[in-house]
Amino acid sequence: MEKSWVKKFEEQEQWFRELFLCHCGYSICESGHHFGPAVRPNYILHYVLEGKGTYHIGNRTYELEKEEGFLIEPNVMTFYQADEQQPWQYLWIGFQGSRADKLMREMGLSYRVPTFSSGCGEELLRIVQSVLHDERDGIEQMLFHQSQMYAFFSCIARSISTQNSEFQMGKRNYYVQAAVEYIQNHYAQEIKVQDIAEYVGISRSYLATLFQSIMHTSPNAYLMNFRLSRAKEQLSLTRFPVGMIAGMCGYKDALVFSKAFKQHVGMTPSQYRKLDRASQNKGLYHTE
């Protein structure tokens, strides 16, 4: 069981379609109290004020305690449960809107990275309590609730951005590593930078920023270079037609492939193959 204080909002969507508050609340859970497995129709950010608990999403389990939180995304099966010895107390806000997904990813939260830590628990509690106890009505009430929702996001975003640099660098490296692995495993398909960003769970602009910072190149340039390096291997090691190699390296159009190859390497694929074969033959001649 749990003791909960909840407030729901029904008119926010018609005024604030890009981002609006659906509900918020505060719960004191008893030992082992759980919710789910279930899916939710909107985004929910939980924040642990006291105690401990576990959050299950996909095949992953997160052990969470005071000053940590977790994101639930719409239509994703989740399960969370209070610890038997130290059951948690938490607050939450539920929200939705056309910009909700982008906002979460800009803050560094997603299905792949659904947890966070923040030391602003007292401020978050004041925000939620101000909404729960608010007695305004009409447009004044809706605007106040909207402002408190943004204050909630601002508080979490601020605390996430000021976490120690080692943690942040580790998270940034994780995103780039995941992106590189995706490219290596899917370069033969017609993937684009947007596909890579969606797989990693961050925005395209943030992915580009991370690549420039860590790899000193753009995601698109890395993808192209990786494809062309694989094309050079195929030209050297096989007798496959150039058009077939183009398709094997993610280029649907052989002419586009040849143009990119020449711009990158300085010669056409056929010229590269001819020069490489001549070089190999020369090497064999000198070793005999």
pLDDT (tens digit, 9 = 90+) per residue, 88-126? 999 999 999 988 988 888 887 888 888 888 888 999 999
**Listed residue (177, 171, 189, 34) closest to 115, CA to CA:** 171
Q: What is the pLDDT of residue 159?
A: 72
What does DSSP assign to residue 87?
Answer: B
Domain residue ranges in the chain: 2-163, 164-288
Q: Which residues of the chain have pLDDT under 70?
A: 1-2, 11-14, 161-172, 280-288
pLDDT at site 188: 92
Q: With respect to CATH, is domain 164-288 assigned 1.10.10.60?
A: yes
Q: What is the assigned CATH class of domain 2-163?
A: mainly beta
Same CATH fold, 164-288 and 2-163? no
| Residue among 77, 94, 2 nearest 36 (CA) | 77
Angle at 36 between CA 34 and CA 41, to 5 degrees: 130
| Helix or strand holding residue 248 (H, E) | helix 242-248
Kindly report the backbone phi and psi dihedral angles of residue 3, in degrees, each rounded to the nearest multiple of 5, phi listed first. -100, 125
pLDDT, residue 2, reads 67
Span 24-48, pLDDT tens digits: 999 999 999 999 899 999 999 999 9
